[in-house]
Structure 1
Amino acid sequence: MGGHSGRVETRQILIDSLVPGDSPRLSGEDAEHVQLLAQSDDPLPPILVHRATMRVVDGAHRLRAAVLRGEETIAVEFFDGDEREVFVAAVRANVGHGLPLTLADREAAAARIIASHPHHSDRAIAEISGLAAKTVAAIRRRSGVGKQQVTARIGRDGRVRPLSSAEARRVASETIARHPQASLRAVARLVGLSPATVRDVRDRLGRGDDPVPPGQRDESRGQPPGRRHTGSERRRPGAENRVGRPGGGAGRDRATLLRNLNRDPSLRFSESGRHVLRWIYSRASGPEGWEQVIERMPSHCAYVVAEVARGCAEEWLAFADRLERRMRDTG
């Protein structure tokens, strides 16, 4: 939703090679404005065209005026964004210059952008459509495309700002209930969670549990922003007293636990045990050197990387729950 970085060259293009675009003007072209352009002696500024489809993004009035002038070619600047961005580019261009969009045009355009880009903030969409952010927020509420459908928003600065993961889990549970045959990946893409987290939601529903783990439920009850539960807070009651397991023995660090596993004869002296050890050691080293990574992380990537890290943590929690459940089931 940034600027038109695709405007890299101006070329003369045959008018017959162009395809009408998807204009944000509800009433179509303004015949009087076209006549004014056609009768002017000034050269027409380049129009904006989507290179991949040759659709007119911005400049329908100029194109019509060129036809009335009897011209066979027209100056074109190319837009190289994907098709999802074409309408956004058209709205941005029409708001920025030329015949102004009406208030109805801009509100209708904002509603379309909210539907196609639900993760983008009200302020970002307001800047594109030439509306106030409060107006965009009201349009979002009326459209039903709100916070319950996304887990993050992208602001005007391009930074991803996450919403509640607890809320995303609840949306995932509703989606699974409505579409039980949907794949984990399909649900994950829809609600913005990892497939492993969606699997955990599905497993919880299968057991009749709340789709949101106890340690995350405060997120949907007005938990202060920025506060997140630590690993010890998220463990089940009593886990801190279980000796010999990762959930217990708070004084025992991960390296010590891994060394103890490596000394276990049942793991060291069997092929299946050695496979388990290799699997654990390849994944349990942790994010070494994370202090330096944090210092070097571009600010606009931080929220995304944090979400990846949180997803990894949730996958390990799901793995731990499955292991413990297997031990309980085998008695």
Structure 2
Amino acid sequence: MHAPGHNDLYAAEEVEIGSLAAGGSPRTAGENLAHVETLVASQAQLPPIVVHRPTMRVVDGMHRLLAAKSQGHRTISVRFFDGPEEDAFVLAVRSNIAHGLPLSLADRKQAAERVIASHARWSDRMIASVTGISARTVAEIRKQVKGRPADGAGRIGRDGRVRSTDATEGRRRAHELIVKDPGLSLRQVARAAGISPETVRDVKNRLSRGEDPLPRRRPKELVPRPAGQPARRDGHAGRPAPGPAAAPAAVVERLRADPALRFNENGRDLLRLLNVHTLRAEDWNRLVDSVPPHCTEKVAQLARDCARKWLEFASVVERD
């Protein structure tokens, strides 16, 4: 099963405008008349609209249709889609985040809710890829709507493969395969274990560090430790970890007042870099939500690279 796209459409043909129907648009506020006027004024040759043949409902191109009507045209160029209505809605959403007047964030979230209900077995990443929001946001919406697959049913990813919603067994299986044959590629292990290649990479990295292949549960948001919570212990002979540290923003502010940093170019560069990391927890969460589905792996890798560089920097500073 794949998300419907323009490869599922027939060749363009001229269709009577009077035979077409509206309704079911992902735009909750309706069409934007100013955009229609812009299309009319452009005098450009507009691409064909997309129509669901069984219902003759416009899937993509209502602004173009209204522009054609205002110009007095009786026909319009159409590419037909023959799939079920649920898939027609997915195609409408996917088309409206790819070109033309983009859907608002509220429209995309509402569309995701509808897609979750109609395509419950699609993975969060797959739904994110057609609705233009992050997989993390899709996961939050999924908790609030009906239509979730039964436990153990698995979800269908963007590559068309079914993966279990509980990666615990998949991680264990991947661990066994890696130990048995270290030469297997990430994709080979992923296919055999029913998990993603990125999850296999994490298992492999954990194995190389001598850690358990199953990570401990992490908080769902980047929130600070509540005030008054007992300080945890670190791994050095049971020694208590340092007490609550001053807020990063306050520390950076004090460093700004230090002439040894303020009055030389390298010091000012360091202060600027440190200041980037003084965001509040809710700001970090907002940044997580802003990462589009097609960029998640690249952004995550860059973040890890930055973290490694900071760790190396900290080690050198402490040695000196």
Q: TM-score, normalised by structure 2?
A: 0.51
Higher relative contact order (CA 8 A, sep 6+): 2
In 1, Cα distance between equivalents of 2:59 and 2:192: 30
8 A Cα contact 2:52 2:88, kept in partner: yes
SS in 2 for 1:9: coil
Q: Out of 122, 126, 130, which is 1:120 matched to?
A: 122
Change (3 A) 1:300 1:9: farther
In 2, Cα distance between equivalents of 1:13 and 1:51: 11
8 A Cα contact 2:121 2:156, kept in partner: yes
Query: Is it true that 1:78 corresponds to 2:69 in the alignment?
Result: no
Q: Per-residue deviation at 1:143?
A: 2.0
8 A Cα contact 2:151 2:165, kept in partner: no
In 1, Cα distance between equivalents of 2:72 and 2:24: 24
SS in 1 for 2:8: coil
Partner letter of residue 143 of structure 1?
A: V
Change (3 A) 1:35 1:132: same
1:138-149 equivalence runs, <5 A? 138-146=140-148, 148=150
Query: Is it true that 1:130 corresponds to 2:132 in the alignment?
Result: yes
Q: Per-residue deviation at 1:40?
A: 2.3
In 1, Cα distance between equivalents of 2:151 and 2:134: 22
Greater share of residues in helix: 1
8 A Cα contact 2:36 2:63, kept in partner: yes
8 A Cα contact 1:18 1:54, kept in partner: yes
Q: Per-residue deviation at 1:119?
A: 0.3
1:65 corresponds in structure 2 to 67
The alignment yields a C-alpha RMSD, in angstroms, of 2.7
**CA deviation map 1:35-75 (0-9, x unaligned):** 11122211222100112221100000110110000000001
8 A Cα contact 2:155 2:162, kept in partner: yes
8 A Cα contact 1:158 1:300, kept in partner: no
Partner letter of residue 163 of structure 2?
A: R
Q: Per-residue deviation at 1:108?
A: 0.3
2:27 corresponds in structure 1 to 25
In 1, Cα distance between equivalents of 2:125 and 2:13: 34
In 2, Cα distance between equivalents of 1:300 and 1:90: 31
In 2, Cα distance between equivalents of 1:58 and 1:65: 14
In 2, Cα distance between equivalents of 1:224 and 1:45: 45
Q: Out of 16, 19, 23, which is 2:18 matched to?
A: 16
In 1, Cα distance between equivalents of 2:108 and 2:30: 14
In 1, Cα distance between equivalents of 2:54 and 2:191: 29
In 1, Cα distance between equivalents of 2:131 and 2:170: 32
In 2, Cα distance between equivalents of 1:10 and 1:145: 35
Change (3 A) 1:117 1:106: same
SS in 2 for 1:43: coil
In 2, Cα distance between equivalents of 1:130 and 1:30: 20
In 2, Cα distance between equivalents of 1:32 and 1:150: 48
Query: Is it true that 1:157 corresponds to 2:159 in the alignment?
Result: yes
Q: Per-residue deviation at 1:32?
A: 0.7
Structure 1 stretch displaced more, 42-51 or 62-71? 42-51
Instruction: Could you tell me which runs of 5 or more consecutive residues in structure 2 were left unpaired when the two chains were aligned.
Output: 174-189, 195-320
Q: Per-residue deviation at 1:144?
A: 4.8
In 1, Cα distance between equivalents of 2:192 and 2:61: 35
In 2, Cα distance between equivalents of 1:71 and 1:150: 53
Q: Per-residue deviation at 1:82?
A: 2.0
Q: Per-residue deviation at 1:301?
A: 12
**CA deviation map 1:150-197 (0-9, x unaligned):** 712000111112346xxxxxxxxxxxxxxxxxxxxxxxxxxxxxxxxx
In 2, Cα distance between equivalents of 1:226 and 1:21: 48
Change (3 A) 1:144 1:78: closer
SS in 1 for 2:68: helix
Query: Is it true that 1:51 corresponds to 2:19 in the alignment?
Result: no
8 A Cα contact 1:153 1:162, kept in partner: yes
SS in 2 for 1:48: strand
Q: Identity of aligned pairs, percent? A: 50
SS in 2 for 1:138: helix
Partner letter of residue 107 of structure 2?
A: D
8 A Cα contact 2:117 2:146, kept in partner: no
1:94 corresponds in structure 2 to 96
Aligned residues, how many? 177
